[in-house]
Structure 1
Amino acid sequence: MSTHSLSTHALQLQSQIRPEHIALSIGQQQLSYQQLYVMVKATAEQLRLQGVTQGSRVCCFGEDPLRMLLLQLASLELAYIFCPLNHHHPLSQLQALSDTVNCQFYWSDLDCSLQQAKRVEFNPHQELSYSVGIELDSEAPMSMVFTSGSSGPPKAVVHCWRNHYYSAQGSQAMIPLKHQDQWLLSLPLYHIGGQAIVWRCLLAGARIVVAQNKGRVFPDLLGSDTTHVSLVPTQLYRLLTQAKFWAHSLKLKHILIGGAACNDSLLEEAISRGFQVYSSYGSSEMSSQIATRHHRLGQSAYQILPHRRAKIHQGEIYLRGKTLFLGYWKNGEILKACEPDGWFNSGDRGLIEGAHLHTLGRSNNMFICAGENIQPEEIELALLQHPMINQAVVVAQQNREYGQCPVAFINAEQKLSKQQLNLFLRQQLAAIKLPIAYFELPAHNSLKPSRNELSTLANHKSSCCDQC
């Protein structure tokens, strides 16, 4: 990434340095950096002719990966604010999210319309030169992404180019990415992790390989020369069931795990198959990765990445640095979310030892059971050590005697009784922390389950139902 500076138009530079190098693969379609840049300029010009200008808020949602990528990249050229939305949401929710960001324009390939915004169309294959160049302002709002809403209402997080640039630089310090490499775009662009993959590849001159199998990653790995992939734990579990998922059988070398805690046995098995395995602590507010562990090197804690800083205040993790977002968009303006001294309260509990960070869970997830503080993430991590459990979420259930008690939603390979599970957990946890009930984790479309929804579900269930 040394050829780049913060003021450089990254795609334009790559089109000059390596014009014939493949920038993007979508199935059988391949685009060189020069071809991609021509398409991005044509997209920007068509949007400009329809009224989109610097600072315009453009909501984007649909199923066409090429157009979604072009809209992300064209935001660098035209300086509008790219606002990707989850196209799986119902129209009412899409409308509500667009209203939250005061959407002025929108693009979609779905048969639906948003109110109070102008629909834009573009043909990326149209030969049209971009007539107006806008100087890159690395501090101007450039994109918005909504938080997952897993533990509260989704918030519109505003980023600038500086945030994305230094996020990619810091990732490169831990996970090397060269222009010969290929990163599978297996995360959606409405998730900060998806956008981060695009910017990492762009700055490194690497290839973006768009996933084609809707969550089934293995066919994408088999059908491409992907060297890097970002996964959630469930995806890693599914890959490890594949007999050919070995480093010597694939081009894949680097696996980055995020989104939730991962069973240590899954990480160890992936390492034994020859892969470099990393897990990441990150957030939308810090533009994706904050700290990363390299498991093959035996790191026991997250290593804080360059361009990020962290401290502990009253048991909570506070963050700052060049990747820290501009603020939350609300009522037509960007609201700063930092303390007066510039630190941002992550809402996570943790410990810091030198440059190493230990996370203990969300402060607002903690609850009190019989006078004892219960941190759900501690119970989840213990559950994930069980060889049959792939995913676990613990929430509080109201209880007349104890106030609140832990209950667990799990995804397991076979049916497990409450007695079996609590006997396993008792080796690691105090009795007061043992779940009083276990339920099957419902299917969900997002990258991680909603704690709010599971909490509501738990409090409509009877604790006498102790089996999955």
Structure 2
Amino acid sequence: MNLFPWQVFADNPQSSQTIALRSSQGDLFTWADVAQKINQTAAFLQQRGITPQSTVAFCAKNSEAILFLYLASLQCGAKIIGLNPAFPQQRIDQFCREYGVDLCLRHEDLANISECPLAKLEEADFLRPATMTLTSGSGGQPKAVLHNMQAHLDNARGVCQLMQFHAMQSWLLSLPLYHVSGQGIVWRWLVCGAQLHFPQTDFYASLLQATHVSLVPTQLQRLLDYLARYPQSEVKTRHILLGGAHIPVALTQAIRTYGITPYSGYGMTEMASTIFAKVSDDKPGVGQALLGREFQLVNDEIWLKGAGLAMGYWKNGEILPLINESGWLQTKDKGLWQNDELVVVGRLDNMFISGGENIQPEEIEKTILQSGLVKQVFVLPKADAEFGARPVALTAFHEQFSERAVEKLRIFLQTHLARFKQPVAYYPLPDLHQGGIKISRKTLADWLLQHIES
């Protein structure tokens, strides 16, 4: 009988009593404990009528109960989808209808799961539809990407190989489970039989207790601020995987002084998380394709297949293909092969034309971040009668937004960017995160239209 990864570790006498999980309260769970909690949650789901034909949703931030629900759903043979709890209820209801959700659970629904026997143990089928993950929807309406367990495991192996992650180490669950990057952490844990740590009250103190961490660049900046504030902190962390945005070289150089190796990665939901990664250096690329991934550049567009590729998009009870006739995923990301590594230039659908010149917003954003004056920036087109469109910047400075801060940035860009690429206006970056990892460019464009251009 095929076993699920957690069952393999729980059934093996050599691993069943080793520590598998550290909770947000600091409690320790062995692999046997984890398997028991998953069984308990699976029995709860069966009592609620969940079968291998069902789809379960969770709408919550990370917790042990949500992790057990995620894995118990798979153990029942059901599909699982995570929804951002910051979404308005109307949107959650819409997603549940659209993706055929039979049961949508929040934290409070899992508070009192009692001990009861499993009605039926499902055999692990690694190729059946397992998880649905919403894309970030940065270009508009998100899609539900359907993966089987094998794709998650295949993706995880490449990351573990690069980052020397093994059974004697730990990874912090620092990113949300409703996002593919959070799920990637879970599957690396399951591939290696290592430890999974949940952040405790002090996030950065918890972070420093795990050997491996996944962060977005703003979190890395906060970690450096924390270490400067608490220089006596014990640092067990050895490896940090960075992604989700441009990664300033100054940050990666600063974290090295603590004996931590930073890695720069490129990933996407359709490939079950990280695809390319390397030890961070001063070059703009993301290294080479990890174990089992294949890629090619076609008219500057990155095409992908191999380890981690999804089964398709799930819509109205059907699997819609995400590959083209040649079997490749066309990412709509523009890339270059430079110095024996991939450089991701930006989204092809973000590019716009200004006075006959092609403008790639991500190129301008990277240059702005190199100034050291800015925490986060988005460059968008603003309609212009003469040029068709001109670039403007929505900016979060390290200091308070002011004309003085803008002027310092303007002076920097005069010697670092071609005149036609320099933003013609700057606005404070609005807080439109809605609890997610990424801000949607479409949301920002809508905001710009409503608040600035009206």
TM-score by length of 2: 0.92
- Alignment-derived partner of residue 160 in structure 1: 148
Question: Greater CA deviation, 131-140 or 85-94?
Answer: 131-140
Relative to structure 1, is the Cα distance of residues 418 and 64 closer, same or farther in structure 2, using a 3 angstrom cutoff? closer
* Contact kept in structure 2, 1:43 and 1:123, CA below 8 Å: no
1:10 aligns with 2:5: yes
1:193 match: 181
Mean Cα displacement is larger for which, 320-329 or 415-424? 415-424
Q: Is the 8 A contact 2:264 2:286 kept in 1?
A: no
Aligned residue type for 1:453:
T
Which of 159, 165, 183 does residue 171 from structure 1 map onto?
159
Distance in 1 between the 2:232 and 2:72 partners?
A: 36
Match of 2:22 among 21, 25, 29: 25
Report the 3-state secondary structure (helix = DSSP H, G, I; strand = E; otherwise coil) of the residue aligned with 1:71: helix
Q: Report matched runs for 1:114-263 at 5 Å.
A: 123-124=112-113, 126-213=114-201, 217-221=203-207, 225-242=209-226, 243=228, 249-263=234-248
Q: Offset at 1:8?
A: 4.6
Within 1, Cα distance between the matches of 2:107 and 2:286?
A: 43
Instruction: Measure, in 2, the Cα distance between the counterparts of 1:411 and 1:66.
Output: 34
For residues 399 and 335 of structure 1, what CA distance do their matches in structure 2 show?
39
CA contact (8 A) 1:217 1:239 kept: no
CA distance in 2, matches of 1:93, 1:247: 46
- 3-state SS of paired residue (1:368): strand
SS in 2 for 1:241: helix
**1:437: which partner in 2?**
425
Q: Give the deviation of 1:192 after TM superposition.
A: 0.5
Change (3 A) 1:203 1:332: same
Taking the aligned partners of 2:283 and 2:425, their CA distance within structure 1 comes to: 35
- Aligned-pair CA distance for 1:363: 0.5
1:459 maps to which of 427, 440, 449:
449
Once the two structures are TM-superposed, the CA of residue 83 in structure 1 deviates from its matched residue by 0.8
Deviation at 1:64, TM superposition (A): 6.5
Counterpart check, 1:304 vs 2:289: yes
Partner of residue 306, structure 2: 321
- Matched with 1:363 is 348
- How far does residue 280 in structure 1 lie from its aligned partner after superposition? 1.0
Pairing of 1:77-88 with structure 2 (within 5 A)? 77-88=75-86
- 1:391 aligns with 376
Secondary structure of 1:420 counterpart: helix
**Contact 1:248 1:274 (8 Å CA) reproduced:** no
Q: 1:7 to 1:438 in 2, by over 3 A?
A: farther
Is 1:75 aligned to residue 73 of structure 2?
yes
Q: 1:21 to 1:299 in 2, by over 3 A?
A: farther
In 2, Cα distance between equivalents of 1:12 and 1:268: 41
In 1, the alpha carbon distance for the partners of 2:340 and 2:127 equals: 27
1:55 and 1:141 in contact (8 A); partners too: no
Distance 1:388 1:50 in 2: 53
> Residue in 1 aligned with 2:268?
283
CA distance in 1, matches of 2:354, 2:157: 43
Of 24, 36, 40, the residue aligned with 1:38 is 36
User: 1:122 and 1:80 mapped to 2: Cα distance?
Assistant: 21
CA deviation map 1:93-126 (0-9, x unaligned): 111111221111222235xxxxxxxxx76855x3
User: Aligned partners of 2:282, 2:449: CA distance in 1, in Å?
Assistant: 43
Cα deviation for residue 398 of structure 1 reads 0.9
Structure 1 residue 299: Cα displacement: 8.7
Query: 1:454 is aligned with what amino acid?
Result: L
User: Is the aligned partner of 1:421 residue 2:409?
Assistant: yes
Q: Partner amino acid for 2:275?
A: I
**How many positions carry a matched residue from both structures?**
445
* Cα distance change, pair 54–350 in 1 and its aligned pair in 2 (3 A): same
1:331 is displaced (CA, Å) by 1.7
Q: Deviations over 1:270-316 (max 9, x none)?
A: 12332100111000000000101211697954221111111111110
1:117 match: none
- What letter corresponds to residue 265 of structure 1 in structure 2? A
Q: Distance in 2 between matches of 1:77 and 1:123?
A: 20
Q: Is contact 1:285–1:324 with CA below 8 Å preserved after alignment?
A: yes
Tell me the residue number matched to 1:408: 393
Over the residues paired in the alignment, what is the CA RMSD in angstroms? 2.4
User: For residue 51 of structure 2, what is the aligned residue in structure 1?
Assistant: 53
Cα distance in 2 for residues equivalent to 1:10 and 1:300: 34
Task: Give me the whole-angstrom Cα distance separating, in 1, the residues matched to 2:398 and 2:229.
Answer: 21
Provide, for residues 108-149 of structure 1, a one-character-per-residue CA deviation record: whole Å limited to 9, x for no partner: 235xxxxxxxxx76855x333434222222221101011111
TM-score (norm 1): 0.89
Q: Is the 8 A contact 1:398 1:459 kept in 2?
A: no
Query: How far is the alpha carbon of 1:348 from its aligned partner?
Result: 0.1
Q: Which amino acid aligns with 1:411?
A: A
Once residues 280 and 151 of structure 1 are traced to their aligned partners in structure 2, the CA distance between those partners, rounded to angstroms, is 21
